Structure 1
Amino acid sequence: MSIKELAQNLKHKSFSSLYLLYGKEKYILDYTRQMIVQATLDEDSADFNKSTYDMEETPIETALEDAETLPFMGEYRVVIIQNPYFLTGSKAKVKVEHDLARLEAYLNNPSSQSIVIVDAPYEKLDERKKIVKLLKKQAELVHTDKMNEKALKDWIQHTAQQENVTITDEAAERLIQLQGDDLGLLINEVKKMALYVGDAGQIEPSTVDELISRSLENNVFTLVEHVVNRRIDQAFRIVYDLLKQNEEPIKLMALLARQFRIILQVKQLREQGFTEKKMASTLSLHPYAVKIASRQGNSFSDNELKTILIQAADADFKMKTGQMDKTLTLELFITELGKQNEHA
């Protein structure tokens, strides 16, 4: 079931006795759980009729006893079951005994006056287990995969609309580039920028650059962009800013080498006919990072990228063995990158 379908059902008071929320996108899990709770409980009875049980600390039968208790001063009781590790194939790190036969009996005959939400923050459940098969059969399912770029942009746009501002597509891309694919973090940043631009304002790429703090890796990402586009003065500006923040030249060199290695890998996989999605999976990267690396790769041949990686390894060796001053070695490496790109 999609979030949109679930929202429609809740709006029309069409509730299920059992919900299974699972996946690695924590923000969506939290958002969905909150949506169910708000739809089924009123403010006056929420304190009496909502309970949360952590399966790493409490036996399942304790939560089920609560689910079988009649609601107090309300129509429904909501019982949230968190961290049900027994639904996965991993071994428990804790010693809590769970009566899964008791859970199986409840799943076959759930209380009509209780809403049980099984909150499983795992990428996969163990489909071989009888209890997993039964739960997926009896419950309404909401599965939250890690989001692709389009889905992230949709949430960013949706959040901007809720805050009564607009955000350009370029600004949304820039935000993802700087902050990665943590949806909760992206949404918080959109809300902060909405306050900055004011009611009915528009968030531009310049807004993102001005307000969003950059991680070290994102600064290196931008540094490579400057090199690719022959903006060597701006590249050095980033380098000197990072050095003022006491970042080690050796670390900066390693991150630069890593980014050029990714560009080469993406370029080679693209030549083999891999899609961006397949490349992202193969290289364990976010699809957006693959998209940018693919674009950056257009400015270099395979041989040029291999030469750059050899030069990076040589510079790294000179830094670590004290053959040259570390900052000077980094400066010479970036200067040489600019010269090579001019001849591309």
Structure 2
Amino acid sequence: MDYRSIVKEIEQGKLMPVYVCYGPEVFRRREFIRFMLGKLVEPEHEEFAVTRYDLNETPLDVVLDDSETVPFLVPKKVIIAENAQFLTGAKENSKVEHRLERLIEYLKNPVDYTVLILVVDAEKLDERKKLVKALKERKCLLAFQTLTAEELADWAARRANRLGMTFGSGALEKFLLYGGTDLQSLAMELDKLSLYVGSGGEVTADLVEQMVARTTEQNVFILIDELVKMNTGKALEILQDLYKQKEEPIKIVALMARQYRLIAQVKELVQTGYSHQQIAGAVGAHPYAVKLAAEQARKYDVNRLNRILSRLADLDYQMKSGQIDKSFGLELLLLNMAV
């Protein structure tokens, strides 16, 4: 089942006896578990109602024995069992033995006073396994996959609304451009903005520029975005800010080369007919980064991209061999790229 459907069912009091949470988006996975605990457990009862296990150290039998034990002083309990790697195709390094048939039997007649949450640090499960098939048949699987570009924007907008604020014109796009794609970092930046604007406040594009913390990688990405728009002056301002942060010109060149390689790859794959989601999987980038790279790629032809990459490679060599002053060489490159 998808995340929203399961949340809606939980809101209505419909609970599954077992949930399997997996996928690369760890932040959303943790948020779901916090949501479950908030719905099922009173804070003062958490000591009696919530138990956590590490399946690298604890046999599945122990977890299921606990699941079948009547809760003490609380009507319902939640058991969270991390590292259920036996649901994947990966080779298990744990010396703990798990009797998987016991869980299959439990699924046939689960108790109604326990919610068991199995957590798997894996992008996907091995659906050839009998246990995974049984869990899938009972709709216990909940995948937390990387958000698409559209889903990421929707996630940020909805979280801002829950914090009592809205994004003004162009502010959401700038927030994602500046903040990156890590949900935990974005959540922290949204919390910071909500404290500043207050309930009912509006986040403007200027406020995003002033307040949202940017990593070196994001600053280089924004620098390139300004170059794409032919805003060389703004690009040089960002470069000076990077210098003030003691960033090495060689590192900046390497990050620029990485981004231009991504632009070139995305341009080629878009022309081949790949979707942004397919490209993200092929090149190992976040779908939102692919979306922005595709927009940037429209401003370049293949020959110009190849020339830029060649210039970056030449500058990298000149810097490392001492043939040119690093800062001067990088500034000169930015000026030449505007031509």
- Tell me the equivalent position of 1:161: 161
Q: What code does the residue aligned with 1:289 have?
A: A
Change (3 A) 1:44 1:327: closer
Deviates further, 262-271 or 215-224? 262-271
Residue 102 of structure 2 corresponds to residue 102 of structure 1: yes
Residue 225 of structure 2 corresponds to residue 225 of structure 1: yes
Q: What code does the residue aligned with 2:183 have?
A: L
In structure 2, what is the Cα distance between the partners aligned to 1:174 and 1:280? Answer: 21
Contact 1:159 1:191 in 2 (8 A): no
Q: What code does the residue aligned with 2:10 have?
A: L
Deviates further, 222-231 or 82-91? 222-231
- Tell me the equivalent position of 1:32: 32
In structure 2, what is the Cα distance between the partners aligned to 1:294 and 1:43? Answer: 47
Q: How big is the shift at 1:169?
A: 6.2
Q: What code does the residue aligned with 1:212 have?
A: V
In structure 2, what is the Cα distance between the partners aligned to 1:9 and 1:305? Answer: 50
Q: Tell me, which stretches of 5 or more residues in structure 2 are unaligned?
A: none
Superposed, 1:6-155 pairs within 5 Å as 6-155=6-155
- Tell me the equivalent position of 1:261: 261
TM-score by length of 2: 0.93
In structure 1, what is the Cα distance between the partners aligned to 2:82 and 2:298? Answer: 47
Q: What code does the residue aligned with 1:16 have?
A: M
Contact 1:84 1:118 in 2 (8 A): yes
Deviates further, 213-222 or 179-188? 179-188
Change (3 A) 1:309 1:104: same
In structure 2, what is the Cα distance between the partners aligned to 1:293 and 1:143? Answer: 27
Contact 2:146 2:286 in 1 (8 A): no
Residue 289 of structure 2 corresponds to residue 289 of structure 1: yes
Q: Say which SS state the counterpart of residue 336 (structure 1) adopts.
A: helix
List 4+ stretches of structure 1 deviating above 6 A: none
Q: How big is the shift at 1:61?
A: 1.3
In structure 2, what is the Cα distance between the partners aligned to 1:156 and 1:233? Answer: 30
Change (3 A) 1:228 1:9: closer
Change (3 A) 1:110 1:169: farther
Residue 178 of structure 2 corresponds to residue 178 of structure 1: yes
- Tell me the equivalent position of 1:280: 280
- Say how many residue pairs are matched: 339
In structure 1, what is the Cα distance between the partners aligned to 2:246 and 2:160? Answer: 36
Q: Say which SS state the counterpart of residue 317 (structure 2) adopts.
A: helix
In structure 1, what is the Cα distance between the partners aligned to 2:134 and 2:258? Answer: 45
Identity of aligned residues (%): 37
Residue 327 of structure 2 corresponds to residue 324 of structure 1: no
Q: What code does the residue aligned with 2:262 have?
A: I
Q: Say which SS state the counterpart of residue 51 (structure 2) adopts.
A: strand
Deviates further, 53-62 or 30-39? 30-39
- Tell me the equivalent position of 1:197: 197
Deviates further, 62-71 or 129-138? 129-138
Q: Say which SS state the counterpart of residue 170 (structure 2) adopts.
A: helix
In structure 2, what is the Cα distance between the partners aligned to 1:104 and 1:295? Answer: 48
In structure 1, what is the Cα distance between the partners aligned to 2:9 and 2:275? Answer: 36
String of CA shifts for 1:92-146, please: whole Å, max 9, x gaps. 2332222223333322322222211112232111112122222222353322111
Deviates further, 97-106 or 251-260? 97-106
In structure 2, what is the Cα distance between the partners aligned to 1:58 and 1:169? Answer: 52
Residue 328 of structure 2 corresponds to residue 337 of structure 1: no
Change (3 A) 1:72 1:291: same
Contact 2:178 2:222 in 1 (8 A): no
TM-score by length of 1: 0.92
